[in-house]
Amino acid sequence: MHGLCTFFKLLFVLQTLWTANASSFLSETLIRKDQVQSVLEHHPVNISECENPKPTGPIDTTMCDYETVESVNGDLFSNVHELVQLPFFKYFQIDLYRECPLGWADQSKCANPSCAITTIDESQVPLKWRASALSKVDGLVDERHELPGCYYRDSDFCWLDDNTEGDYYDLTLVPERFTGYSGPEAHRIWRTIYEENCFGLSEFTLMSGKAPAAVTLPDTMTDVLREDGADTDQCLEKRVYYKVISGLHASISTHICAEYLNQTTGEWSPNLQCFVNRIASHPERLQYIYFNTVLLLRAVARLGPYLTAYDYCSTGTVQDDVETKEKLLNVISIAQKAGKFDESVLFRGENANILKEEFKAHFRNVTRIMDCVGCDKCRLWGKIQTTGIATALKVLFELDEKALDPHTNANLLQRSEVVALVNTLHRFSESLEAVNQFRQLWADMSSTESEQLILEAEKAAIPIPRRSPTSRGESSNNLFDEARMRVVSFIQICKESTLGCMARIMRMCLQGLHGVSSIFHPSGKENGPGAYDEL
């Protein structure tokens, strides 16, 4: 009977692959026909609220739709882009040279000049934002868990610098763009993030569920999940975790393609072939950028009163404070329109606390993995964006309205968390703006040129055969290294949190049972998270 059920499930998936509607990347969660055209020939609409009478479809696991995000993003980007140019949000102090926690002895550094970044002298940073002043200010009173130079509190989803070490950077002078850092080193970073820290999901298993209704917007996020495969083995929290990671990956890839170095001319310009290969040929990746944008907007909306009361003044005059708050109020207003994410439906039930601790432990690991990135510029933006997303997760899942009250909890967030959150929202908003640029480039192409782009993308998508070990010794070393990495990660989690340790043990047991059952049917994870591995 189980085999028969598996057969019918497989038959349904194959039918979905053959009959998916390719008219718009918004209309289906699984598109395998004409997917490049569905992304690049989509025409954004202009609707102002998250209550459209006939939306194309809600963004999976949110209460917002694509039209709303598209219609507000132009205004959002212009405001947040100006905001991150202002003194408070452009200066960032961070330690980029902390030891890689995975102990990769062969960790290589990017020798390309594009990977390098320039620090600024501390004297350029307003006095109140220097390490000596910031280290005196503590936020939440949760117990600290410390390592040299960094720490996290029980409510945190990431490791934070303690401002005792590190350099200062002007983020406006360090654009996120193509650096040449790619190949096995970059792939190993993403592979570790997906395989070691995620819950074992793949894009295929996430996207194989029934598409959300294309006519009405559900009343709650639970309704969306009921229609989008909520009866599968993956719970909502695990699906959200994967979308967050994959959305970050897709956004970074979009920035790389949007500012790509022409090796012949030495100029930076959009590379449409890069975008087609990495994003347009996988519409679900673009959907995850929308998802993360809504999640970040919801966090900003909840933080509205706290951010409004924050002291941004730095020069002895009130001009900086006034200008910063003016732009910030515009961003908060937009966030209140489009940040429709119902965080209350997550982490409920008898195992909620264990699951949340495991979620936190995984994402904290992601923030530490960024210390293993071999490109300085990539490491900087990787650490900023994982901190920004972690801050949003903390705001949504850890802080109630009382904690968010700026009058009773003025030091709720570290300055680095506020700066990282806003800069990360800017990164995602800019990614969506870049997509419109790529659509215009596509529209200006001849049919012959566009067909050639798709042909090249299809060639790039052909799986590269796994390299066979040259000897038994090499195979044994690879297995030993992988086992050692997993043991180190497990020990670290148990040191940090008893609940997290228990959750990992439970997950290992469940994976063992799943491994036995998977012998009799395909796992759906044969192709992994994909090959867009550059940082």
pLDDT of residue 10: 43
pLDDT of residue 16: 36
Q: Indicate the pLDDT class of residue 35, thresholds 50, 70 and 90.
A: confident
**Residue 11 scores a pLDDT above 60:** no
H-type alpha helices, 53-192: 66-83, 87-90, 131-134, 184-191
CA 249/CA 90 separation, integer angstroms: 23
Collapsing DSSP to helix, strand or coil, 269 comes out as strand
Q: What is the pLDDT of residues 76-112, one digit of tens each?
A: 999 999 999 998 999 999 999 888 888 886 666 777 7
Spot the catalytic one: 198, 257, 378, 501.
Answer: 378
Residue 128 is given by DSSP the state G
Q: Indicate the pLDDT class of residue 373, thresholds 50, 70 and 90.
A: very high
CA 477/CA 472 separation, integer angstroms: 9
Q: List the structure tokens of 168.
A: 């200062």
pLDDT of residue 421: 97
Range scoring the smallest mean pLDDT among 243-257, 279-293, 422-436, 518-532: 518-532
Q: What is the pLDDT of residues 252-271, one digit of tens each?
A: 999 999 999 887 888 889 99
Within 219-276, strands assigned E span: 260-261, 268-269
List C-alpha distances in Å: 320 to 21, 330, 382, 524: 50, 16, 28, 53
**Residue 12 scores a pLDDT above 50:** no
Could you tell me which residue, 199 or 404, shows the higher pLDDT?
Answer: 404
Task: Please state, rounded to an integer, the average pLDDT across all residues of the chain.
Answer: 74
List C-alpha distances in Å: 73 to 45, 144, 246, 279, 441: 11, 38, 20, 19, 20
Q: Is 375 a catalytic residue?
A: yes
Could you tell me which residue, 199 or 372, shows the higher pLDDT?
Answer: 372
**Residue 205 scores a pLDDT above 70:** no
pLDDT of residue 80: 97
Q: Is 64 a catalytic residue?
A: no
pTM for the predicted model, two decimal places: 0.76
Torsion angle (degrees, nearest 10) of CA 96, 101, 105, 110: -30
Q: What is the pLDDT of residues 42-86, one digit of tens each?
A: 888 665 544 444 445 566 667 677 888 888 999 999 999 999 999
Identify whether the C-beta of residue 223 lies closer than 8 Å to the C-beta of residue 267: no
Tell me the domain boundaries of the chain. 33-463+482-518
Residue bearing tokens 């944008």: 293
**Residue 415 scores a pLDDT above 80:** yes
pLDDT of residue 140: 53
List C-alpha distances in Å: 165 to 14, 101, 145: 54, 17, 17
- Compute the average pLDDT of residues 135-149: 65
Q: Indicate the pLDDT class of residue 135, thresholds 50, 70 and 90.
A: low
Which residue type occupies 170?
D
CA 454/CA 29 separation, integer angstroms: 21
Spot the catalytic one: 110, 115, 372, 375.
Answer: 375
**Residue 505 scores a pLDDT above 80:** no
